[in-house]
Structure 1
Amino acid sequence: MLSHSLQYLVFVITVFALYWAVHRQYWPRLLTLLIASVYFYAAFTPFPLIIFLVGVAVDHALVKGMARWESPGVRKLLVTLSVVSNLGLLAGFKYLEMLRQTALALLAPWGIEVRTEPFSLLMPVGLSFYVFQAISYTVDVYRGKASAEHNILEHLLYMLFFPRVVSGPIVRASDLMARFRDVPTLTPDDGGRAMFRIAVGLVKKLVIADVLGSGIVDPVFAAPEKYASAECVVAAIAYTFELYYDFSGYSDIALGVAALFGFKFPENFNRPYLAKNLGEFWNRWHMSLSTWLRDYLYRPLGGNRVSKPRVLFNLMTVMVLGGLWHGADWRFAVWGAVHGVALGVLRCWEWTVGKPEKPGIPRVAVGMLATFTIVVLTRVVFRAPDMTHAGGFYARMLAGVPGIANVSPLVWGMLAAAVFFHATPMKLYTTASELFVRLPVPVRAVAIVLLGLGIRHLSAVETRPYVYLQF
């Protein structure tokens, strides 16, 4: 049940009606959301629910233990058990086969053959997001930033809340679980803004991302040797925008649906391709993941409070592990390592010459172009099925083969729209949202219907799953 499908729309409308019919009563309200969330996840695959139930039960017992015991040693042991168990769950389902293949490849040159069966465990949908959110709660309880007084059903709903369970954003307990006992409110204006946000997300996903993906990205990445060098460059740029509009579109829908139930999720994107350097890019891209890596990995490693060589080591560690989080393939580690090296170079530059307080327009333009170029080039590794394929793609880009006939007018139009809307000031979106809110309800309904018909007409491509479902 993908969030851009008709089934999801019917599901949300049904849950919305039931939820607001009982919203003043705590238990009916909580159970409505919990049952809906379990049903939503089971629509993907029901078996992992057992794993998640066990995981929540273990974490809940450890959280209650931290609330009961005041001994720092005991509390540290309990939070360590939580972190290890959650990371073990992630490793067991996501990385064992990669590690097995890596070990075999390393032993083969020494003439050592080990007969092992492949690990064929099917990774639960959204496991990476589940694990990081689970760790954030137990660590926040340990740090005193989250309450341990929630019951196990609240804990389970926090982990499975259906607007975000599949692909995030990663929401802290203070932003979600702490609100479960509050009687929710939803004004007509807030409801209108939520509907506008959902509509924007649908346009991003179905009109821009899917058209770019099917129109140029998929065919060129499948067989780059059949395309001209410029077409490969266009495909790499198109994938960069496809990934943004696909994932930010999902995030817009998630934030809009959560708002319909009275919850406010943190923003996940802030026009990342306008960043003036790579550090700023990571402060604008997938912000719930970036802040998680900062708060639960980078700072515990020492952050900026240690020696300069150690800071560079911390940056590289975070980026490599953050890359591997995206998939059980060493190319993701390579992708993260390249970003780690680039961030290290940027940090050394700032240590040497300092940060400009108010950079001029030429410097800003050069910084934005350089940052975007690095992002586009590294996206090739992110998108290619393996490093060999990525190497072939780079070689084709540099081969100088002329021609650009395979880029259709529709793709050019979508690329232009992608660039335009990405560069549009946020004030324009806010103004458009407020204008939508001021429309009479029947007019809003007609506008949404016309939008749906327009999307169906323009997006004459097969509906595609979200890219981040694989993570």
Structure 2
Amino acid sequence: MLSHSLQYVVFVIAVFALYWAVHRHFWPRMLVLLVASVYFYAAFTPFPLLIFLVGVTVDHLLVKGMGRSQSQGVRKLLVTLSIVSNLGLLAGFKYLELLRKTALELVPASWGLHIREAPFDLILPVGLSFYVFQAISYTVDVYRGKASAGHSFIEHLLYMLFFPRVVSGPIIRASELMERFRDVPTLTPEDGGRAMFRIAVGLVKKLVIADVLGSGIVDPVFAAPEKYASAECVVAAIAYTFELYYDFSGYSDIALGVAALFGFKFPENFNRPYLAKNLGEFWNRWHMSLSTWLRDYLYRPLGGNRVSKPRVLFNLMTVMVLGGLWHGADWRFAVWGGVHGLALGLTRCWEWTVGKPEKPGVPRLAVGMLVTFTIVVLTRVVFRAKNMTDAGEFYVRMMEGVPGIANVSPLVWGMLAAAVFFHAVPLKLYTVTSELFVRMPVPVRAVALILLGLGIRHLSAVETRPYVYLQF
């Protein structure tokens, strides 16, 4: 049940009605959300729920232990066990097959080591990467004293399975969700209108812009780049860069909007990342819940900026390579992250050498944005290709200079123009439009949403496409 499907709309309406009918009573509203979340996840595949249930049970016992213990050594042991168990869960289901394949390729037969030749064929639970990072954030925050260990098992389980974000994030901290479970929720008509507007924006991003770019140019060109001209490959790489943004930010908009309908305010996950002037700023704007997680739970524990300059560069590279691998069990993701780590390191070296200009001029800002966007587009080829061989072939085709651009349809050009325009316009435009929507009479709002749905149906791909980040 994808969050841009009609089934999801009906599901949210039903849960919304039940939730607000009992919202003044803690346990009834918690059970409504928990049952809805379990049902929602089971609609994808029910078996991983058992895995998550075991994982939450282990973490909950460890958290309770940290809450009761006064010994720093014991608390450190318990949080370490939580981190190891969660990373072990991720490694076992997501990376074991990658390690098996890598060992088969790299370990010589003369060593006499027996390596399994048959695939493990393990089912990768949907949203496992998001689950593990969110689980670690809670136990570490309890250890650091930033989150309470006094929550019930039901609260802990709902925190991990809350249906608006369980599949593809955002990665939510305990202070942003679990710490608010006991507050009696409120929802004003204005807040409800803003939430509906946010959901509508997310649907347009996903079903109109992202899906049209994906089916219209990205999928066919990446499937067989040798059949397309060099310029068409360049357009496909740029289109994929925007498809990924509008697909994932559209999902985030829907998740934030649906959460708001139940009285929860989640932090923003994107902030117009392709307007960034350097890669450091790009990662502060792109998938911000992941970027801040990597900063708070990996980069800073490694020493962050408080260590020697060589160590800072090592920390940057480590974070980016591991962050790349988080996206998928394929070494090309490590390569993608490594290239970003190298570029971030070079950026940091440049700043150490010449310093940061206090107020860079317009030409320098424009050059910075162009260089940053170019790096992002070029590395997206590795991100999108099936393997490094296909990525290499795509790069070669881009640089061969084969003329022609006839396979880029007017609809694709129009969606690319729309993608650039809506990404570049000031955020105030969205705020003003949202407030105009809120001030409309309810019947007018209903008509506007119906017309929007009909327009989406007309413009979007006939086939419903899953979210890109479902694979992560």
The alignment's TM-score, normalised by the length of structure 1, stands at: 0.99
Q: Which amino acid aligns with 2:196?
A: M
> How big is each residue's C-alpha offset from its partner over 1:301-340, in whole Å with a ceiling of 9 and x where there is no partner?
0000000000000000000000000000000000000000
Unaligned runs of 5+ in 1: none
Q: Which residue of the partner structure matches residue 223 of structure 2? A: 222
The 5-angstrom pairing of residues 22-421 of structure 1 reads 22-108=22-108, 114-116=114-116, 117-421=118-422
Change (3 A) 1:347 1:7: same
Q: Tell me, what secondary structure is at the counterpart of 1:289?
A: helix
Partner residue, 1:453: 454
CA RMSD of aligned residues (A): 0.9
- Distance in 2 of aligned mates of 1:38 and 1:237: 38
The one-letter amino acid of 1:17's match is A
- Structure 2: how far apart are the matches of 1:55 and 1:422? 39
Map Cα deviations across residues 134-184 of structure 1 (whole Å, 9 max, x no partner). Answer: 000000000000000100000000000000000000000000001100000
Report the Cα offset of residue 223 of structure 1.
0.2
> In the aligned structure 2, how far is the partner of 1:70 from the partner of 1:55?
24
Measured against aligned partners, the alpha-carbon deviations of 1:171-198 in whole angstroms (never above 9, x if no partner) come to 0000000110000000000000000000
Structure 1 runs of 4+ aligned residues shifted over 4 Å read: 109-113
TM-score (norm 2): 0.99
Which shows bigger deviation, 352-361 or 103-112? 103-112
Q: What is the deviation of 1:269?
A: 0.1
Once the two structures are TM-superposed, the CA of residue 463 in structure 1 deviates from its matched residue by: 1.1
- The alpha-carbon distance between structure 1 residues 44 and 232, as it changes in their structure 2 partners (threshold 3 A), is same
Q: What's the CA shift for 1:111? A: 7.3
Structure 2 distance, partners of 1:321, 1:257, is 31
CA contact (8 A) 1:269 1:285 kept: yes
Q: Distance in 2 between matches of 1:26 and 1:306?
A: 47
CA shift for structure 1 position 461: 3.2
> Structure 2 unaligned runs (5+)?
none
Paired AA for residue 343 in structure 2: A
CA distance in 2, matches of 1:73, 1:112: 42
Q: How many residues are matched? A: 471
1:460, CA displacement in angstroms? Answer: 3.8
Q: What is the match of residue 433 of structure 2? A: 432
Q: Counterpart of 2:107 in 1: which secondary structure?
A: helix
Give 3-state SS (helix, strand or coil) of 1:327's partner: coil
Q: Is this contact kept in 2: 1:104–1:114, CA < 8 A? A: no
Q: Contact 1:104 / 1:113 at 8 angstroms: preserved in 2?
A: no
Post-superposition offset of 1:118: 1.6
Give the counterpart letter for 2:218 in structure 1: V
Letter in 2 for 1:214: S
Q: Is the 8 A contact 2:234 2:398 kept in 1?
A: yes
Residues 278 and 343 of structure 1 are in contact (CA less than 8 Å); yes or no, is this contact kept in structure 2? yes
- CA drift of 1:108 comes to 3.7
The CA deviation at 1:292 is 0.1
TM-fit CA distance, 1:112: 5.5
Partners of 1:40 and 1:126 in 2: CA distance: 13
Q: 1:134 and 1:460 mapped to 2: Cα distance? A: 36
1:14 matched to 2:18: no
